[in-house]
Amino acid sequence: MLKEFYTTPRLGMDLHDGGGPFGFDIHKAYEVCTLINDMDVSVIIETGSNTGDTTEFLAKLYPTKKIITCDINNNYFNFAKTRLEKYNNVEIYNVDSVYLIQNLKYPKDTLFYLDAHENGMDLPLTKEIKSIKHGIIAIDDFNINAPGYSYEPAINIDCIKGTDDVYINNPLAKYPYPLLQRARRCGRAYTTKKVKANWNYEIFKKFCK
Ligand SMILES: C[S@@+](CC[C@H](N)C(=O)[O-])C[C@H]1O[C@@H](n2cnc3c(N)ncnc32)[C@H](O)[C@@H]1O
C-alpha cells in the first residue's frame, strides 16, 4: 500500500489539499484500504474522480477489483480518461454522480468512496446516499469537529440520513505511519446500507469511533 501511495503522481487540479491519492492523507488511505481488504470488497465506486489520483492508486493496488469513477467536469474527465486507459480494471464516466449510482448494477460487497464535493457547486451527497441500494460507504470531508480538520460547507450526520451506524476517524489514533499531509486535512465517515459490517475488526476499532 505504501509503495503505491507514494509512487502515484499528484496530478489533482484545483484541489486545496494539493491532490494525491486520498488527498495525500496516508491515514485516510489506510482506513479505506483496511475496509476494502477486511470486507473483501469486489467493486469500488468513487464519485468525483478529478484527474484520477485516487483512482490510479486503487487501480494499481487492486488490479483484480473493478473500479468505477465519474466526474462532471469535462476537463478533469478527459485528463483522467487518458491517464487511466492503461488500467483495464477501471471504468470512467463523464456524468453526474447521482446519475452514475442510479444507473449502475453493483454487488453488495461494493465500497462507495463519496468525494464529489467541490466548493461553490451543489453537494450531491444526500442524493448519492439516497440512491445507493446497498454497500459499504466512505464519505470524505466529513465534519469531525477536530482542530485542523475542516471543510465548508459542513458535511455532517444530517447529510447522510438513511444509513446504518456511522463511524468517524479519530485523529488521535495511533496509526502505523505518520501523516505528512500539511496543506489540508479532512475528516471522514464510514457507514453501510443493507450490508452487515463487522466493525469489530481490531485494526478498524483502533482508529475510528
Ligand atoms: C475533491 S475532488 C475529487 C478528488 C478525487 N476523488 C481524488 O481523490 O483525487 C471533487 C470532484 O468532484 C467533481 N464533482 C463535483 N460535483 C460532481 C457531481 N455532481 N458529479 C460528479 N462529479 C462531481 C468535481 O468536478 C471535482 O473534480
User: Which domains are seen in the chain, by residue range?
Assistant: 2-207 (3.40.50.150)
pLDDT per residue as tens digits for the range 5-14: 999 999 999 9
Atom 4, ligand 1: residue with shortest CA distance: 50
**Residue in the block written with cell 440512491:** 131
Radius of gyration of the chain (CA): 15
**Ligand 1 nearest atom to the CA of residue 46, by list position:** 6
Q: Does residue 164 line the site of ligand 1, with CB under 6 A?
A: no
Mean predicted confidence (pLDDT) in 49-54: 98
Distance of alpha carbon 16 from its chain centroid, rounded? 16
For residue 68, the cross-strand partners are 45, 91
**Residue in the block written with cell 460487497:** 109
Confidence of residue 151 (pLDDT cuts 50, 70, 90): confident
**Ligand 1 nearest atom to the CA of residue 140, by list position:** 1
Distance 98 CA to ligand 1 centre (A): 12
Mean predicted confidence (pLDDT) in 135-148: 92
Q: To test ligand 1's pocket by mutation, which of 60, 72, 92 has the most ligand atoms within 8 angstroms of CB?
A: 72
Q: Does residue 53 line the site of ligand 1, with CB under 6 A?
A: yes
124, 131 contact by CB (below 8 A): no
Closest CA to 185 of 151, 209, 145: 151
Q: List phi, psi (to 5°) of 138.
A: -115, 125
Counting Cα atoms < 13 Å in the Cβ hemisphere of 200 gives 2
Q: Does residue 117 line the site of ligand 1, with CB under 6 A?
A: yes
Going by C-beta distance under 8 Å and a sequence separation of 6 or more, which residues neighbour residue 154? 143
d(CA 93, CA 27): 28
Neighbours of 156 (CB within 10 A): 14
Q: Does residue 115 line the site of ligand 1, with CB under 6 A?
A: yes
Distance 34 CA to ligand 1 centre (A): 23
The reply to whether the predicted model has a pTM over 0.75 is: yes
State the cell numbers at 167: 463511524
pLDDT per residue as tens digits for the range 82-136: 999 999 999 999 999 999 999 999 999 999 999 998 877 889 999 999 999 999 9
State the cell numbers at 52: 484520477
